[in-house]
Amino acid sequence: MISAIISSFHWRMAKTHRRTNKEKFASHLLKAVRDRPQNDTKVRRAVASLINERMYGNALDLCQQLLDRDVAQYWTTYKSFVEELSRGQTTEGRIKVALFNDTDFRVNIGCRLTSQGLKRSILRAFPDAAVTSASFDFAAFRKEFSSSIVHRPKATELEERLLAAYGETALDTIAGSDFILLQPEGSLDDETSPEGLATFFTPVLVAQRLGKPYAVLNGTIPIYRDERDDYLHRLFKSLRFVAARDEFSATHYDVTFLPDAAFLRIAPDDVVHRDGCLITTGARNRAEDDIEIFKSALAVCDSHSLRPVVLTRAADHFAAFEREVISRGGIFAETASIEMAADIISRCRLHIGGRYHMAIFSTLCRVPTLLFDVRTHKNQWLAQYSPLIRLVDPKSDIMSMAGSLLDDDSPARPHPPHDYEGFLKHAYSLGTAPASVLKTG
């Protein structure tokens, strides 16, 4: 009882000092966890808070303290993620490239997998490039502005939205860069409003006005059935240098198709002994949807003597089954470094879940996937694109389909080549069209 009161006090003090004194903020968080280490929810929230403040050393210390009781390997894998962040990925070069909505700092493994693939392509296209990253603030989707920028936006209005969405230095970053890139990856969905869409695309709209070379690439663009569809068609026609990472988006909006940059990762070495079944959640799934996925996957594990390997964003949706995973010699984790994730997935024989990028990662590791159809068309496209992926739903005969995939020894066909370098060089060499204003009609 006393330890709970003391822990609660330190939580309150950490919140008080978060914006004013980083050292006290970290100190109180560590003390709050020390007094209540068994409260997994708060411990995980503490580590996430330290990462959000980029206090990687403190986050590593906390992970290290938790390894002694890490039966599920949650903190072992999480620590590898923090180590990946702490190493940083700074580059130096003559060509200044600004990458807006770089997702290489998120807990989600897929966000990092695809952003790292894109950045490798940038450096292959421009070996003498220095990449500056800017994150997107999702709060900008909810912020109210005094005027609309969907039609005939003024320069000052675009700049106001740009700073709200990408930070106070965003305009200076664009002004000081030679090439501006915007990655829609994982940030647009059916709930995004017309004004939200316009806000999101401000980096390239501002770049266009300033006469800077730009491109939009490596994202799934939702297919809307209202005024947002008209807006995006006009927007992409005006921007010219736009590529989508799935064929459905590319065809609908008449833009270039470049398969997801996550496919650009070099596949890890093959592993002889494979005994795991990777289990993941689904993007934007409800907890009850994910629980149905888990139950189906666990039944497959028991039938085929596979270790359940939970390695997924929103792993807390499976929290009630963590003991069952551990009792079967499995892993229960949310994230890992890309290298550790590759090692874990390579030791699996099957992936069952709804995570788009984890299905791609599994394909790279030569692991077949039963991919659940979730509320986005990217999974549908992926199942058509990769021969190692089969689309399923809760009514599918998961047991039978899993058995079929596990018995299939035929080698997977290689994927078509990706010409990211050609697209980037083309957009950079041609620069921008004359600055224009989107018009209605």
Task: Compute the distance between CA of residue 77 and CA of residue 332 in angstroms, rounded to an integer.
Answer: 9
Average pLDDT rounded to a whole number, residues 23-46: 80
CA distances from 276 to 22, 80, 301, 354, 383 (A): 41, 20, 8, 17, 22
Would you place residue 68 in the very low, low, confident or very high pLDDT band (cuts 50, 70, 90)? Answer: confident
CA distances from 169 to 22, 160, 163, 175 (A): 22, 12, 7, 10
What's the number of CA atoms in the CB half-sphere (13 Å) around residue 24?
11
CATH 3.40.50.2000 in the chain: give the residue spans: 276-407
| Cβ atoms within 10 Å, residue 236 | 18
Task: Report pLDDT for 37.
Answer: 61
Task: Compute the distance between CA of residue 207 and CA of residue 166 in angstroms, rounded to an integer.
Answer: 14
Residue 379 has pLDDT above 70, yes or no: yes
Average pLDDT rounded to a whole number, residues 306-313: 97
Calculate ∠ Cα 93-84-98, nearest 5°.
Answer: 35
Kindly state the greatest CA–CA separation across the chain.
68
* Percentage of residues in the chain having pLDDT higher than 90: 75
Would you place residue 35 in the very low, low, confident or very high pLDDT band (cuts 50, 70, 90)? Answer: low
Question: Which residue do the tokens 């009781």 mark?
Answer: 69
Q: What is the pLDDT of residues 72-131, one digit of tens each?
A: 999 999 999 999 999 876 677 899 999 999 999 999 999 999 999 999 999 999 999 999
Among 24-28, 146-150, 174-178, 376-380, name the most confident range: 174-178
* Percentage of residues in the chain having pLDDT higher than 70: 94
* Least confidently predicted of 20-29, 234-243, 388-397, 428-437: 428-437
Q: What is the pLDDT of residues 7-26, one digit of tens each?
A: 888 888 988 888 889 999 98
Helices (H), 278-355: 287-304, 322-327, 338-346
Q: What is the pLDDT of residues 103-113, one digit of tens each?
A: 999 999 999 99
* Least confidently predicted of 51-55, 110-114, 182-186, 368-372: 51-55
Task: Report pLDDT for 88.
Answer: 75
φ/ψ region of 218 (left if φ > 0, alpha if ψ in -120 to 50, else beta) reads left
The model's pTM is 0.92
Mean pLDDT computed over every residue of the chain: 91
Average pLDDT rounded to a whole number, residues 409-434: 78
Average pLDDT rounded to a whole number, residues 25-33: 86
- What residues have CB less than 8 Å from 180, skipping those under 6 apart? 97, 98, 100, 174, 203, 204, 207, 212, 213, 214, 215
Per-position DSSP letters for 191-260, written without gaps between them? T--HHHHHHHTHHHHHHHHTT--EEE-S-PPP--SSHHHHHHHHHHHHH--BEESSHHHHHHHT-EE---
Task: Report pLDDT for 440.
Answer: 36
Q: What is the pLDDT of residues 172-205, one digit of tens each?
A: 999 999 999 999 998 999 999 999 999 999 999 9
CATH class entry, domain 276-407: alpha beta
Cβ(98)–Cβ(171) below 8 Å? no
Task: Report pLDDT for 356.
Answer: 97
Task: Report pLDDT for 363.
Answer: 95
Classify the C-alpha dihedral 174-177-182-185 as positive or negative: negative
Task: Report pLDDT for 45.
Answer: 86
Task: Compute the distance between CA of residue 54 and CA of residue 33 in angstroms, rounded to an integer.
Answer: 19
Question: Which residue do the tokens 């695309």 mark?
Answer: 201
| Selection from 279, 278, 340 nearest residue 80 by Cα | 340
User: Identity (one letter) of the amino acid at 392?
Assistant: V
Cβ(342)–Cβ(268) below 8 Å? yes
Task: Report pLDDT for 5.
Answer: 81
Architecture of domain 95-259+422-430: 3-Layer(aba) Sandwich (3.40)
Cβ(239)–Cβ(214) below 8 Å? yes
Would you place residue 439 in the very low, low, confident or very high pLDDT band (cuts 50, 70, 90)? Answer: very low
User: Identity (one letter) of the amino acid at 134?
Assistant: A
3-state secondary structure (DSSP) of residue 343: helix
